[in-house]
Amino acid sequence: MRSLFRSSILCAGLLALTSSFASGQAAPRQPGEIAWAIHYDPKTFDPAKVDEQASELVRYLTGGVLLRLNRQTQQPEPQLAQSFRISPEGTLIVFKLRAGLRFSDGAQLTSADAAWSLRRVLNPATHAVVAEEFLSPEAVVIDTPDALTVRVHLPKRIIGVEKIFDEIAIEPANRPSEGRVTSGPFAVADYKRGQFVRLIRNRNYWRRDAAGVQLPYATGVRLDILNNREQEISLFLRGEYDLIDTLPAEYFGVVAQKSSSAVHDLGASLNTEQMWFNQSPAAPLPEFEKSWFRNRSFRVAVSQSIHRADLARIAYNGHATPAFGVISPANAQWHNNGLKVPPESIADANKILAAAGFHRGGNQLYDAAGHPVKFSILTNAGNPARQKMAAMIQQDLAQIGMQVTIVALDFPALIERLMHKQDYDVCLLGVSNAEPDPSSMMNMWLSSSANHQWNPSQKTPATEWEAEIDRLMQLQASSPLPRVRKQAVDRVQQIVADQQPFVYLVYPNVLQAVSPQLRGVQSSILSPGPVWNIDSLRREQDRPLRGSL
């Protein structure tokens, strides 16, 4: 019997040993390779067909572009183009290419390749998302007077046209290669769906550092496809990843405890977290509820009763900035510093509600017709910060007698309720602003847009203030005068603060974790964060960070 026990324990021990070996996750790192995780598979490696963020990142890392937006100065810088010039009327852009440019396969890069790549993006058959930024892509004409000159003729001026060229990768003419032959710092070498994307250094990349050393420094990039934050952090702490681009606030402290020098809170991001009331006439809600949500006093009272500092402190562990307006203070150029916002005050909120015909019966608020004020806040499941905010808002609104329930749905279900059925009372979500220029927000602010969340796809603006926002947004998108644009955007911010169609809650801070071994990092709040200057990043000796998750 003793031998039976002995062999049983031996077997169990062997099993535990073999099982623990099966836990390795990251693919082995090549020497000099920089590695980090992305959360889902890129849908395409064709730079012209990019239509989501993972593909956008691969395009950024592999695609050579005529101009690159410097993520720190926010100014366009010549890349494959040695210089560029925009005509005074804004309808002609002339790019002069660098001499001796080559693709990663050694083929020469000339103006014919640049023109072909631009025409491919403009071709409706390509379905390039970036083409829409040319406003009338079919009317854009490209010509190449010589092997180093590309001319882009626009039908009319486009404000901030330079930044569009940051998104157009130059490929070899008539040889689209899905990122395998590139003019950027890296090229796609290997892709295992659901596992990783491996990029290798482009030996023919045009750029050299001040000492004349060929860039990029890194021999390659490995993007692991990993949708598990705990594992990502664990692998980062073990030194298998060099960075975490967007570190959730709830994990910031955990990583900081293990390696305080690796985490960085860069302050408010351009992104906003906000809630809005469903004002769509098509919404399947009782008429009295719709009338609350259309009532400015009701929205302002709600805004005044929310304690934003508490939201930032508790829901984001202090890694967020209270928000009162459309444009984050991080966007210094466009933020309205003189914005007047309704002050946080329960007493003022009660007064406004009373003036609007609402009355209290014990702890419950009633409207003039005697309906108790009850509604639900819809948000997405799987976002702890949002769910905490919703719970805190529930408590805040209880102080002014509003009864709130929280509904958390997975994203597809939420989108259906929000975008297709308009079957919700209040929604709490975030908006990611990848670009600081307000023109990128047109889709959200124009009343005719499907992304005009509180009342989408309006044939004509439902209210005067929405009509004014439409006019101002069109003005800022078309005026060549910076002062006029700034005035228009400031006014939009003030209208939104007055009307509260969006009740802004917080600007989540930009949280990044960067391995101390990664050199050359110039952090930026703009996408793609710490890797925006990927060609200048290099790894020092391989040494894991101390501790584990």
Partner 1 sequence: MNWPVTIAMRAGRTLLLILCAAAGTTLLVRFAPGFFSDSREMDAKYAPAAQDEMDAEHSQHQTVSQIAIEEARNFLAGGFGMSRQYRVPVAELIGARIPLSALLLARGIIGGWLLAICAALPVSSLRKGGVLCSLPFTVLLAIPTAAMATACILSELGGPVLVLALLVAARDFKFLRSLLEGAWRSPHLLQGRALGLSPRVLVKLHILPNVLPQLCALTTLSIVTALGALVPIEVIFTVPGVGQLAWAAVMNRDLPVLVAVSLLMACVVGFAGMLSMRAPILEAA
* Closer residue to partner 1 (CB): 405 or 432: 432
* Closer residue to partner 1 (CB): 87 or 228: 228
Give yes or no for residue 146 binding partner 1 (CB under 8 A). Answer: no
3-state secondary structure of 391: helix
Give yes or no for residue 18 binding partner 1 (CB under 8 A). Answer: yes
* Closer residue to partner 1 (CB): 86 or 129: 129
Question: What is the Cα–Cα distance from 290 to 426, expressed in whole angstroms?
Answer: 11
Select the residue interacting with partner 1 from 88, 106, 124, 194 (CB under 8 A): 194
List the structure tokens of 297.
């006093």
* Closer residue to partner 1 (CB): 282 or 484: 282
Question: What is the Cα–Cα distance from 23 to 94, expressed in whole angstroms?
Answer: 54
Give yes or no for residue 20 binding partner 1 (CB under 8 A). Answer: yes
Give yes or no for residue 28 binding partner 1 (CB under 8 A). Answer: no
* Closer residue to partner 1 (CB): 141 or 434: 434
Give yes or no for residue 231 binding partner 1 (CB under 8 A). Answer: yes
Instruction: Report, in Å, the least distance between residue 22 CB and partner 1.
Output: 4
List the structure tokens of 50.
């990019």
Give yes or no for residue 3 binding partner 1 (CB under 8 A). Answer: yes
Give yes or no for residue 159 binding partner 1 (CB under 8 A). Answer: no
Question: What is the Cα–Cα distance from 73 to 70, expressed in whole angstroms?
Answer: 6
List the structure tokens of 70.
């410097």
The string of DSSP codes covering 41-96 is --S---GGG--SHHHHHHHHHH---SEEE-TTT--EEESSEEEEEE-TTS-EEEEE
The residues that bridge with 95 in the sheet, in sequence order, are 84, 150
3-state secondary structure of 239: coil
* Closer residue to partner 1 (CB): 2 or 459: 2
Stretch that binds partner 1, among 5-13, 264-272, 473-481, 496-504 (CB under 8 A): 5-13
Pick from 486, 162, 443: which is nearest to 332 by CA?
A: 486
The residues that bridge with 24 in the sheet, in sequence order, are none
Select the residue interacting with partner 1 from 192, 203, 340, 359 (CB under 8 A): 192
Q: Which 8-state DSSP code applies to residue 32?
A: T
* Closer residue to partner 1 (CB): 127 or 340: 127
Specify whether the CB–CB gap between 516 and 337 falls below 8 A. no
Residue with tokens 């900081």: 256
Give yes or no for residue 309 binding partner 1 (CB under 8 A). Answer: no
Instruction: Report, in Å, the least distance between residue 5 CB and partner 1.
Output: 5
Select the residue interacting with partner 1 from 65, 67, 181, 226 (CB under 8 A): 226
Stretch that binds partner 1, among 360-368, 418-426, 511-519, 528-536 (CB under 8 A): 418-426
Stretch that binds partner 1, among 36-44, 62-70, 240-248, 369-377 (CB under 8 A): 36-44
Stretch that binds partner 1, among 37-45, 281-289, 335-343, 361-369 (CB under 8 A): 37-45
Instruction: Report, in Å, the least distance between residue 36 CB and partner 1.
Output: 14
Select the residue interacting with partner 1 from 87, 228, 257, 448 (CB under 8 A): 228
Question: What is the Cα–Cα distance from 543 to 549, expressed in whole angstroms?
Answer: 17
Give yes or no for residue 188 binding partner 1 (CB under 8 A). Answer: no
Specify whether the CB–CB gap between 380 and 411 falls below 8 A. yes
Instruction: Report, in Å, the least distance between residue 131 CB and partner 1.
Output: 10
Give yes or no for residue 282 binding partner 1 (CB under 8 A). Answer: no
User: What are the Cα distances from residue 502, in Å, to 277, 302, 330?
Assistant: 8, 11, 19
Pattern of binders to partner 1 over 85-124, x per CB under 8 A?
----------------------------------------
Give yes or no for residue 419 binding partner 1 (CB under 8 A). Answer: yes
Give yes or no for residue 440 binding partner 1 (CB under 8 A). Answer: yes
Pick from 345, 366, 364: which is nearest to 301 by CA?
A: 345
Give yes or no for residue 451 binding partner 1 (CB under 8 A). Answer: yes
Instruction: Report, in Å, the least distance between residue 51 CB and partner 1.
Output: 5
Q: Which 8-state DSSP code applies to residue 216?
A: P
* Closer residue to partner 1 (CB): 189 or 444: 444
Give yes or no for residue 82 binding partner 1 (CB under 8 A). Answer: no
Select the residue interacting with partner 1 from 180, 313, 417, 471 (CB under 8 A): 417
Specify whether the CB–CB gap between 347 and 355 falls below 8 A. no
Question: What is the Cα–Cα distance from 424 to 432, expressed in whole angstroms?
Answer: 22
Select the residue interacting with partner 1 from 302, 414, 428, 503 (CB under 8 A): 414
User: What are the Cα distances from residue 102, in Å, to 111, 188, 426, 493, 534?
Assistant: 12, 16, 54, 46, 19
* Closer residue to partner 1 (CB): 4 or 211: 4
Question: What is the Cα–Cα distance from 539 to 506, expressed in whole angstroms?
Answer: 35
The string of DSSP codes covering 276-311 is EE---TTS-S-HHHHHHHH-HHHHHHHHHH--HHHI
Give yes or no for residue 22 binding partner 1 (CB under 8 A). Answer: yes
Instruction: Report, in Å, the least distance between residue 42 CB and partner 1.
Output: 10
Give yes or no for residue 457 binding partner 1 (CB under 8 A). Answer: no
Residue 212: partners with Cβ closer than 8 Å, 6 or more residues away? none
Give yes or no for residue 11 binding partner 1 (CB under 8 A). Answer: yes
Give yes or no for residue 408 binding partner 1 (CB under 8 A). Answer: no
Pick from 423, 390, 392: which is nearest to 406 by CA?
A: 390
Pick from 521, 460, 549, 421: which is nearest to 34 by CA?
A: 521
**Is the CA virtual torsion 475, 478, 483, 489 positive or negative?**
positive
Residues that bind partner 1 (CB under 8 A): 1, 3-5, 7-9, 11-12, 15-16, 18-25, 40-41, 43-44, 51-52, 127, 129, 132, 192-195, 225-228, 230-231, 234, 409-420, 429, 431-432, 434, 440-444, 449-451, 548-549
